[in-house]
Structure 1
């Protein structure tokens, strides 16, 4: 199965796909669907909505958040960007798309946000599958924790000078 994906800043042509995304309750507990998060991301100049696309169709979505607004997640806001609301539409899960997107993420950030030196994210401690995915993609748990709306969260970090740990290239998933 071809899982070739690309990352692109949100364009209106993806809106219909994004608003049709679905997740089972056990996943929806940990992230917001685009119908809940897209409008606010587009209205906030410190947030960038990003589409994970395959064959011109949106199959995933996330938000990159920078500036002082990430201080609740990570104290060193200078040079850091927060990855939030990362999800793959349920119909497209299990095909390596999330891993492939995370492989592309560092170069995407280097291209679109050249002053950023670190990617951070918060993952609920009960969301074992997501924490494992992020760890395999090279995100490090350096012991930072925060209280989230749905329980304790690990704050994971990825320095843009650090190579991917398990995954070497997006082509491994194609």
Structure 2
């Protein structure tokens, strides 16, 4: 069951579990481990690391970006946030935790970023599982594309 899933901004007590995350081989192609992106996110203003918790155990991670410079290549909306680096540790795949987290995301964003009216993200066109997750969680494909490290990325939008 997923009723005990919650979102929390990163706290130092999350670090040991985040450092032990592993990714499936498929996920390694499309996302980063928290330990690969966390220190940079903590060191840059307008980046907000978020932890997906099952009870109090970190099971997932992503970063919210508010920097207009970062957002510029994704959207011209000054009130948008960019979601990046979503990962779920391999042992917790297939349990619905990522979907529950994405369903909690709009309320989380509205609570902490009341000025935000849109969440955007880029998903590789080959990452069918992630694309399906985002679409089932309320993200929309408005036809915008960009080229990423592995080719075409779809820019998806969740309007708040």
Gaps of 5+ in 2: none
Aligned equivalent of 1:57 = 57
C-alpha distance in 1, partners of 2:2/2:105?
19
Separation in structure 2 between the aligned mates of residue 60 and residue 22 of structure 1, nearest angstrom? 10
Aligned residues: 159
**1:72 is the counterpart of 2:84:** no
Aligned to 1:29: 29
Give the distance between the partners of 1:124 and 1:27, measured in 2 at CA: 11
Q: Structure 1 residue 45: deviation in Å?
A: 1.0
Aligned to 2:121: 121
Check 1:99–1:2 CA distance in 2 against 1; reply closer, same or farther (3 A cut).
closer
Distance 1:2 1:82, change over 3 A: closer
Distance 1:2 1:104, change over 3 A: closer
Equivalence for 1:96: 96
Deviation at 1:136, TM superposition (A): 0.6
* RMSD, aligned α-carbons: 1.0
CA deviation vs aligned residue, 1:113-152 (integer Å, no higher than 9, x gap): 1100000000000000000110011100000000101111
Q: Which residue of 1 aligns with 2:86?
A: 86
Q: Aligned-pair distance for 1:3?
A: 4.9
Could you tell me how far apart the structure 1 residues matched to 2:71 and 2:141 are? 18
With normalisation by structure 2, the TM-score equals 0.96
CA distance in 1 between counterparts of 2:20 and 2:127 reads 23
2:153 aligns with 153
1:3–1:97 CA contact under 8 A, matched in 2: no
Q: 1:4/1:11 Cα in 2 relative to 1: closer, same or farther (>3 Å)? A: same
Unaligned runs of 5+ in 1: 161-174
3-state SS of 2:123 partner: strand
2 CA distance for matches of 1:2 and 1:153?
A: 29
Corresponding residue for 1:45?
Answer: 45
